[in-house]
Amino acid sequence: MGQERKKKQERPKPPDEDGAANPEVAKKGKKIKEDLDKLLDEIDEILEENAEEFVKSYVQRGGE
Amino acid sequence: MRRRIRGTEVEYGTEVYIGREPARRRYFFGSEFQYGADIFFEVLQKRYLSERLFYPHRNVFLRNGARFYVDTGFHPEWATPEADSSFDLVADEKAGELILEEVAEETNKILASKGLGVGVTFFKNNVDTENNTYGCHESYLMSCDPEFRWERLLLLLAPHLISRQLYAGAGQVHEYMVRGRWSYFLSQRAHKIMFCLHGGTTEHRALINTRNEPHADDEKYRRLHIILGDSNIQPAAIFLKTETTVMALDMIEDGFLEQTPFGEDGHKFLRAIREFAEDQTLRKACELGGKNITLINLQEFYRDKARLFCEQAEADPERKFALELWDKVIEAAKKPRPHEALAPYADWALKQVIIERDMERRGYGRKTSGLERIPLPGKDYSQNRKPLTVYERLKYLDVWYHALHPIGRKIRESSGIEPYEIVTPEAIAEARYVPSSRNTRAMARHRQILAAEELAERNKWTLSLNVDWQWFKASRNDTPVLIAGAKLMSDPYDPRLRFGSLSSPETPETDSGRDGP
């Protein structure tokens, strides 16, 4: 009954630990790291812009 | 394998933005933003219901059988349709996230275009910044057994419920009253549970909630209502939280699990759930049944029993998958830095990876006071702006991890870790329009809504809807044209389209009567 609808994906294999063995992997690894660093910088900006006010304001009524 | 209906009701937190500033204690679905909430419900219905149908109240059932409404404390709540598979539940719950984010974004655009700088963001978590809480409630249909005793269910199920946080905890940065002192919990709800057994949900939250509203034939079924779980973003967490509990209930109802070695003192379970939550190394042992037991030990017990139980039953690929995933997370939990191994599966673990990355980049640690300020290199703090405190950084990451918003996704992505997927994006996308389980009452509701749409279209009518789990009515100007009464809708496993006659809603009707007056 529709197992195809719910194909479970195997978690993608983690990138090679030993980048030195394969320069392509090393280059890709570096790019991934650069992208990640950019993302982390972006998050720093988001934090600086928003965190203080948000933490003061995020108060809910409380539900169930 | 026995079929069992399951579902979740997720209460969302909301933040209202007025211009670009968050508004404290203003509730988008409360009385002061009627206009905005009205637009939200309009957009929701326009996108996910025919324009010829409408709900006059803020209580909407969609074509996919799910329910969206405003609950206690102005919390919007998403209830999944009746599912008989945990895979389906994952797709249905994730579809809810997609829909709410999409509708919020559209609503905010409309409000902005009207010059009203008010917007809403949804948060799929369980605690705010003042420790108020809102829940993720699970429902599991059980058989009505005259021998049923709550105390017995407590002893057999609670050891599982208090230790599921291993994979199902959503993680929380907690600030203590002692200034600057903070800690990290595995679970957001663990410290909110004050009772072993209780029927309440706001003042008195219990390990096992004793409310029984089956929304079904109450002589055949009871609905177990679990309120101590966290809201999860990680699909593996949603899946395992649900499927392991289903397996435990199967074992209990079949008499396969008749006792545990974990003692008969419910209060020890209450203490243990908190003590486990306070230890990210997962090594904390609590005395239960005369032995020192960790939450890994508890999960191993249920996993081992479940494996034996499933071996005795007919082979089922979904169960096999669930047991293998259960194995994976237990093995991961035993690793020296368990949060790293568990990060693809559990929200608390992924969140901890994110937090540790921030600590590493910004040079602070677990022992740093929450009040200490962290200046960013190269940033100018001379004009009024002060560097953020450790607590502000952590709490923002903690809560926005759960945001139905691009920033939420960015924060989770910043971990560098891929989540372990349970269902395909296509299955989730489809679940916005059709219930994932095709053989339950959700499908009946789906068909009823489609029938109402068809009737309205054919006659160029507008119909108002009044729908509940066990009820369906479509009316034209207060006159019912389609109706299905509670008795007719009392079987949660019946997917067939059915209507009652207008004079007798409980009596099944033949096709010919459905063209209306």
Secondary structure of chain A in HEC code, one letter for each residue: CCHHHHCCCCCCCCCCCCHHHCHHHHHHHHHHHHHHHHHHHHHHHHHHHHHHHHHHHCCCCCCC
Asked if the model's pLDDT at residue A61 lies above 80, the reply is yes
Q: What is the pLDDT of residue A26?
A: 74
Residues in chain A within 8 Å Cβ distance of B21: 53, 57
Closest-CA residue of B relative to A38 is B414
Q: Tell me the residue ranges of DSSP E strands in B93-244.
A: 118-123, 136-143, 172-175, 182-185, 195-198, 206-209, 221-226
What per-residue confidence (pLDDT) applies to A12?
36
Q: Which residues of A touch B430 (CB under 8 A)?
A: 5
Report DSSP letters for B281-307, one per residue: TS---EEETTEEE-HHHHHHHHHHHHH
Question: Is the minimum CB–CB distance between B175 and chain A shorter than 8 Å?
Answer: no
Q: What residues of B act catalytically?
A: 71
Q: What is the pLDDT of residue B475?
A: 98
Sheet holding B13-18, edge to edge: B21-23, B13-18, B118-123
**Residue found by looking up tokens 């410290």 in the block:** B191
Q: What is the pLDDT of residues A12-50, one digit of tens each?
A: 334 444 444 567 777 777 878 888 999 999 999 999 999
Q: What residues have CB less than 8 Å from A61, skipping those under 6 apart?
A: B27, B30, B72, B73, B74, B75, B132
Predicted confidence at residue A22, as pLDDT, reads: 67
What pLDDT is attached to residue B102?
98
Substitution target in B130, B362, B396, B417 with the highest count of A β-carbons within 10 Å is B396
DSSP secondary structure letter of residue B345:
T
Q: Kind and range of the H or E element at B54?
A: strand B53-54
Residue A61 to residue B27, Cβ atoms within 8 A:
yes
State how far the Cα of B333 lies from the Cα of B343, in Å rounded to an integer.
Answer: 10
For residue B482, count CB atoms less than 10 angstroms from its CB and return exposed for 0-12, middle for 13-18, buried for 19 or more: buried
From CA B247, how far away is CA B242, in angstroms rounded?
A: 9
Model pLDDT, residue A9: 43
- Please identify every stretch of chain B with a pLDDT value under 70, giving residue numbers as ranges: 510-517
How many Å is the Cα radius of gyration of chain B?
A: 24
Distance from CA of B266 to the nearest CA of A (A): 22
* Residue B489, pLDDT score: 97
Query: Three-class SS of residue B136?
Result: strand
The answer to whether A61 contacts B72, with C-beta atoms less than 8 Å apart, is yes
pTM tops 0.90, yes or no: yes
Instruction: Assign 3-class secondary structure to B163-181.
Output: HCHHHHCCCEEEECCCCCC
Q: What is the pLDDT of residue B6?
A: 98
Q: Which residue of A has its CA nearest to B426?
A: A5
The pLDDT value recorded for residue A10 is 39
Q: Which residues of A touch B376 (CB under 8 A)?
A: 44, 48
- Starting at the edge strand found earlier in the chain, the sheet holding B471-476 runs B53-54, B463-468, B471-476, B479-484, B500-501, B504-508
